[in-house]
A and B are shown apart, each in its own frame.
Chain A
Amino acid sequence: DAKTTQPPSMDCAEGRAANLPCNHSTISGNEYVYWYRQIHSQGPQYIIHGLKNNETNEMASLIITEDRKSSTLILPHATLRDTAVYYCIVPPLEAAGNKLTFGGGTRVLVKP
C-alpha cells in the first residue's frame, strides 16, 4: 500500500476554509487518492477521490500536485458539523477488493 502521512490534528475557525494536507510519495501511477471522514460515534463517510486532476463535489475539493506525491483536501466553509477525523487513503490496485487502510488521520476541530 502507498503510505500516507497526515498531521495528527488541526483547528479551524467556523466559516473559514480548512486545508488538510496529505503526503503519499510512494503512490503509483494508477492509484487513486481517497478521503473519508469519521464523525464521533459514526462510521466513516466517503468525501471525495481523485487520480490526477483536481476534483470538487458538494462536500469538498481535492487538489493533487502534479507529481501526485501529495494532496490537499479543502473544506471551503467549515462548520461545526465538520469536526471529525479525516483520513487520506491510497488503496492498492488489486484484482478484487478495496481494502482501505486507515492510518491515524487528522483530527479536525472546528471552533466557533
Chain B
Amino acid sequence: DTGVSQDPRHKITKRGQNVTFRCDPISEHNRLYWYRQTLGQGPEFLTYFQNEAQLEKSRLLSDRFSAERPKGSFSTLEIQRTEQGDSAMYLCASSLKQGTNEKLFFGSGTQLSVL
C-alpha cells in the first residue's frame, strides 16, 4: 500500500455515459498526477496539479476529460460521453518534490471498461 487511494477500482459503463474517478493522495504531497495505461503499454501522462493548480495537460486529454483538485487534496477525473477507446487503467500518483528529485507514489488505478 503506497498511501495513494483510488476509487472505484473497477468501472463498467456504457458508451456515451459520464464517469468520475477519485484519487486521494498522500496527505503531505503537493503534486498529483493522472496517467492512463492501456493493455500491454506503459502508463501515459495525462495531467498534473501542484496544490490546486492544474499546471499541465497532455494532448491525450481531449475536451471530454476534465480533472480537478479543488482544495489541493483529493482529485477527480471526469470523462464525459465515454467512448470505447477510453477503456484503460487510470492511474493517480502523488509526490513531494524535494530539490530536483521527485519520487512518484502511484495508486492501484481504476480500470475502466466502456461497452
List residues of chain A with CB under 8 Å of any chain B CB.
Answer: 30, 32, 34, 36, 38, 41-46, 49, 85, 87, 91, 93, 96-105
Contacts and interface: CB of A to CB of B under 8 A. Distances in A.
Contacts of A42: 108-109
Which bucket holds chain B's interface residue count?
20 to 34
Given A49-B101, A49-B103, A96 B55 contact: yes
Per DSSP, chain A at the interface is loop
B91 A30 contact: no
B104 A98 contact: yes
A11 B61 CA distance: 36
Contact of B56 (A44, A85, A97, A101): A97
Interface string B28-57: 000101000000001111001010000110
